[in-house]
């Protein structure tokens, strides 16, 4: 039986690229999504073109019960989850002086509480199997901070604390928990930035370009593979050298 990878928020951007990369590696793929989009059928055939199975599970990661049901339906179909990638995330940027309390809370609820909600439901199956990999998608701003992103940075810093604590809790069960901290990656999330701002950002990155979803997916693939079997509780920056 092929290994099973579950990726949250994976119908577009970095999550979609991770799903496609894992499919090429031969994993059966479970894709979490929040809303129906026209893309699901196309994505399903792209995944299945690699001779692997593909299951879509609908859930808002900020809702514990929906996550519980999503995980149950994966276990019903595949009987196991070998790799979990907590990728779903949102931004609601604003200087703190003008940030609405609900915008602070909703970013924490999706990015940080969402990571808890999914992990909490997946972990018992990994504990039973005495094996598993969890890769959490943090961000460089969770380490460096960023004006206008108190909510987002707090959520991504929280993910780092969560990653390290859980890595210590479950290492004896052979479950490895790591995080990646991408810098500026070209996706819909960063497409809201004006071209001149993007150019300015690229100029300040040692590698002189924004990252791609593929840059992130390749590191996540490594962290899920046997090649990383002595790495746990770590945060790997994928940022072209932006943060050193």
How far apart, in whole angstroms, are the C-alpha atoms of residue 180 and residue 217?
10
CB closer to ligand NAD out of 133 and 156: 156
| 189 in contact with ligand NAD (CB under 6 A) | yes
Region near ligand NAD per CB under 6 A, out of 20-28, 47-55, 81-89, 116-124 = 81-89
**Binding of ligand NAD at residue 87 (CB under 6 A)?**
yes
User: Smallest gap, in angstroms, from Cβ of residue 189 to ligand NAD?
Assistant: 4
Which part of the chain contacts ligand NAD (CB under 6 A), choosing from 13-21, 74-82, 165-173, 223-231?
13-21
Largest CA distance in the chain: 53
CA distance 121 to 119: 5
Segment interacting with ligand NAD, rule: CB under 6 A, options 19-27, 85-93, 163-171, 192-200:
85-93
Cα gap 146→140, rounded to integer Å: 9
Site string for ligand NAD, 107-146 (x = CB under 6 A): ---x---x----------------------x-x-------
In contact, 62 and 38? CB cutoff 8 Å: no
Beta strand 175-182 pairing with 235-238: parallel
Question: Quick one: which of 1, 2, 243, 27 has its CA closest to 135?
Answer: 27
Q: Annotated catalytic, 33? A: no
Angstrom distance (rounded) from CA 93 to CA 87: 19
Tokens of 30: 């479970």
- 162 near ligand NAD, rule: CB under 6 A: no
Residue 180's CB is within 10 A of a number of other CB atoms, namely: 25
Which residues are designated catalytic?
152
Binding site for ligand NAD (CB under 6 A): 8-9, 11-15, 32, 34, 60-62, 87-90, 110, 114, 137, 139, 182, 184-185, 187-190
């Amino acid at each position: 039986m092929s290994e099973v990878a579950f990726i949250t928020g994976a119908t577009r951007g970095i999550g979609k690229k991770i799903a496609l990369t894992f499919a090429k590696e031969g994993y059966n793929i479970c894709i979490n999504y929040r809303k129906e989009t026209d893309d699901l059928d196309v994505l399903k055939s792209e995944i299945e073109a690699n001779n692997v199975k593909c299951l879509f599970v609908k859930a808002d990661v900020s809702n514990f019960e929906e996550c519980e049901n999503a995980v149950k339906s994966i276990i019903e179909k595949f009987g196991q989850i070998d790799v979990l990638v907590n990728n779903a995330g949102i931004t609601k940027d604003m200087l703190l002086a003008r940030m609405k309390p609900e915008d602070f809370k909703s970013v924490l609820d999706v990015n940080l509480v969402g990571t808890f909600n999914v992990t909490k439901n997946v972990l018992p199956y990994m504990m039973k199997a005495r094996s598993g990999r969890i890769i959490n998608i943090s961000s460089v701003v969770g380490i460096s901070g960023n004006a206008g992103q108190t909510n987002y940075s707090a959520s991504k810093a929280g993910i780092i604390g969560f990653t390290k604590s859980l890595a210590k809790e479950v290492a004896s069960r052979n479950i490895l928990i790591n995080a990646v901290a991408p810098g500026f990656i070209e996706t819909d999330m960063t497409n809201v930035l004006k071209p001149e701002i993007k150019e300015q950002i690229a100029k300040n990155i040692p590698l002189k370009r924004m990252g791609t979803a593929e840059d992130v997916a390749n590191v996540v693939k490594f962290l899920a593979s046997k090649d990383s079997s002595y790495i746990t509780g770590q945060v790997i920056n994928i940022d072209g050298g932006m943060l050193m």
